[in-house]
Structure 1
């Protein structure tokens, strides 16, 4: 059968969605074979970032600080919000349609009879683009788990597991020990690894010991503390001290933990990738990562957050508490049916006055009427309304909210993406 070919990115993405019988097919044999056929061997340091939550923020910190230090940085993250191009950047600039199409075409030509998933195509595409662009360093975000994730075909010069909590249990296990073991699969013998979870499962250290990986934990081997009455902070790792750091542009105190993980990784690679204190300060101030507790300008206060599991909901709740008072909080809310909806609603329920339940436009989404019923059962004092679309829920919330209110859109990448599209951005 002749290989697929097309000229437009949207045609390729539609093809990739149908190119493999399973959307998720854990295992490294197929993609490793295609990697070897294509000769994709990075000649630059690779930083691998895993975790239930926070890994996108760590990637953003790493990439921005490295860019401020003058390095040419390739970054691969997932999923995207509005455009596939967001997943692959060089020097923080999205890959062009042409570059992505050329990389997909090369993979399609070389893979032969080996079938690849949408995500596996994306990982190979990103690395090909980075090698062709001659980047100095690549930052790669794990998609799901770690041990069997497609990104794990590339050895990390440093790795981290930002957090460990229950999510994707069907693939990773139904307890933190099993999930930690899967995420620790990105560790390599003799290569530094870091954990940003304050209460890590024992399996993480066990895997590191088995593999001879020097693993450091936040709060024990590295960490942070506030300075200057909370207006600055200090990072520490062993004998290293970085004083008078500005608060990151990403909101929420939990981002200091994410920033510390990034700084620990960079400190471990300081001989390969030297970085100055000024580079760090600039990177902390310039970092951007949309829809992670993102506060939009104007009134009423509008907050976008892709929080879609209990761990992320707790972080969002803490961040909301730091934002100050709002007369009424309106929540545009949609989640996937396979997520822990009840736990998320319980965690955030007492911070929300009016719920606007909606289903993002994809089959996995919890139907709006069922979502509204579940919210009402858990939060009987709240006002709950179901809407036919996320855009309709967003419009209703903006019409109802006063200047002293807050509008929160959360529950899924897809929910926030449809809100952003409804806003015309």
Structure 2
């Protein structure tokens, strides 16, 4: 094995270990985790779901930080740099801080063929266990029941919105997928469901294992008007709340589940009403209906399945009128690309399809062909580009100052644009 000194060396090593990118199952991860003797000695909140996981984790973190708790957060995938996957006390960890924990995984691996995700998850869990945390917030990578994150027992599970995605691994319908997501629940522990209409399989699994199930409309609810919103749960109410700093109509659903999680953990992780207000006001998460100031308006969103794209379309409609909307789009080949294109077609006037730097991605020319197969719309155009930045430059070149540019799809699409950095994006591409 070649010497590995940097995080880049270790990530390259992880990519070589397993012949599959995804290999569902917990036996290998649990075996290595046991040999590493990794224990999270603090409350653990595990977040599963199809959409809204990242936003939920960000709000949980922001409120806990405002309450004075030392937080650890693990999310995936990253947008630009791998280190974004782990934050300690609100700060992205350094590459140098991660290296010793990759070394620990390798020493404990003893020939186990871990995937990239499994190996890196173990390294991050090791770092979090060594960081003297007050609360650990873990985002599931894929599914729940068999995801590497589920090797850690949770103290509170949060299930966000559930829809069709990763059907080749999780099942063909919401009931099958819900059953996989519900696998992160634990007997006797709170299980917060923020999906307003959850699959019956989620409720059935919670009841079968004796989880403390919290359902919207039964155990907690929220109301709101144009200026503020209110939340009520089991014995506690918050009124006059400002809307979360994260944009989008769906964020109130996510925030409602977040407040339920804190209410369920109140005995171990108390937070004040002021911490909730400040946390929701200050929360940030790149790439989730992120609007970059300047002209033309630039919107970044990692909507990469039909359900998320439908939410994005609603949010775009709420922005008001723009003479022309230019879209930069790239996606993985295993996604329902025609459905995403069809949902966005009424809103987009100029399409810029882009290749992405991963074998899983659909080629721009193939996406272009899928778009051409849709019912035609007058005065629309579509072009292909080598990558997201090239597509953004082309869109910017033909956009008027009053237009809108939308970058959406895979994390690779939005991340490819963010590699430029927001200050440079604003200065170089948006004038």
TM-score bin, normalised by smaller chain: over 0.9
* Structure 1 residues 318-357: aligned runs within 5 Å: 318-357=314-353
Q: Distance in 1 between matches of 2:205 and 2:3?
A: 43
Structure 2 contact 407–414 (Cα < 8 Å) conserved: yes
Q: Distance in 2 between matches of 1:239 and 1:167?
A: 36
Shift, 1:388, TM fit: 2.7
**Could you say which residue in structure 2 is the equivalent of 1:251?**
247
Structure 1 contact 331–354 (Cα < 8 Å) conserved: yes
**Could you say which residue in structure 1 is the equivalent of 2:62?**
64
Structure 1 contact 349–379 (Cα < 8 Å) conserved: no
Shift, 1:91, TM fit: 1.0
TM-score of the aligned structures, taking structure 1 as reference length: 0.97
Is 1:124 the counterpart of 2:122? The answer is yes
Q: Distance in 1 between matches of 2:115 and 2:334?
A: 21
Is 1:370 the counterpart of 2:371? The answer is no
Q: Distance in 2 between matches of 1:95 and 1:119?
A: 17
Structure 2 contact 188–211 (Cα < 8 Å) conserved: yes
Is 1:263 the counterpart of 2:278? The answer is no
Moved more, 272-281 or 195-204: 195-204
Shift, 1:225, TM fit: 1.1
SS at 2:50 equivalent: coil
Deviation string 1:299-337 (CA, Å, 9 cap, x unpaired) is 111100010101100110111112111111000011111
Q: Which runs of 5+ in 1 are unaligned?
A: none
* Structure 1 residues 24-423: aligned runs within 5 Å: 24-227=22-225, 230-381=226-377, 382-422=380-420
SS at 2:334 equivalent: coil
**Could you say which residue in structure 1 is the equivalent of 2:429?**
none
TM-score of the aligned structures, taking structure 2 as reference length: 0.95
Q: Distance in 1 between matches of 2:230 and 2:293?
A: 29
Q: Which runs of 5+ in 2 are unaligned?
A: 426-431
Q: Distance in 1 between matches of 2:200 and 2:243?
A: 31
Shift, 1:389, TM fit: 2.5
Q: Distance in 1 between matches of 2:417 and 2:376?
A: 26
Distance 1:154 1:278, change over 3 A: same
RMSD of aligned C-alpha atoms? 1.3
Q: Distance in 2 between matches of 1:407 and 1:189?
A: 47
Q: Distance in 2 between matches of 1:183 and 1:200?
A: 11
Deviation string 1:373-420 (CA, Å, 9 cap, x unpaired) is 211221522221122322221101111111211000001100111111
Q: Distance in 2 between matches of 1:17 and 1:79?
A: 15
